[in-house]
Amino acid sequence: MPLRGTIVVDENLCKACELCVEACPQHVIGLNAEIITPRGFHPAHLIKDECTGCGICALVCPEAAITVYREKRGAQG
């Protein structure tokens, strides 16, 4: 099983440009239609569990809105 990761999107920074949605190799990012940010966008969020914490979404994010976390190696039981 690959290492698992997750992302935290800063909703004040995200502008819903969808570059992370396009770039995600696991296709696990989508826009959250239930939230509207102060600037009027639907922010990005994880839609599936399969995030590996590769960090490519953060690499293409123009707003530096994404913090990427990954399981420590050896943490899997």
Partner 1 sequence: MVALDIKDMEIVYRHPDSLVDISTHYCPGCTHGIAHRLVAEVIDEMGLAKRTIGVASVGCSAFSYNYFDFDFVQSPHGRAPAMATGVKRSRPDRIVFTYQGDGDMISIGAGEIIAAAGRGENITVIFLNNANYGMTGGQMAPTTLPGMKTTSSPNGRDVEQTGYPILASELLATQQGASYIARRSLHDPKNIRMAKKAIRLAFETQVRGLGFSMVELLSTCPTNWHMTPANATKWLEEKMLPYYPIGDYKVHPELSELKV
Selected from 2, 27, 35, 69, the binder of partner 1 by CB under 8 A is 69
> Which residue pairs, CB below 8 angstroms and at least 24 apart, start in 50-55?
50/26, 51/4, 51/5, 51/6, 51/7, 51/26, 52/2, 52/3, 52/4, 52/5, 52/26, 53/3, 53/4, 53/5, 53/6, 53/7, 54/5, 54/25, 54/26
For partner 1, the closer of residues 26 and 53 by Cβ is 53
Selected from 2, 22, 36, 76, the binder of partner 1 by CB under 8 A is 22
| Interface with partner 1, residue 34, by CB under 8 A | no
Selected from 1, 9, 17, 34, the binder of partner 1 by CB under 8 A is 17
Please tell me the count of residues contacting partner 1 according to CB under 8 A: 40
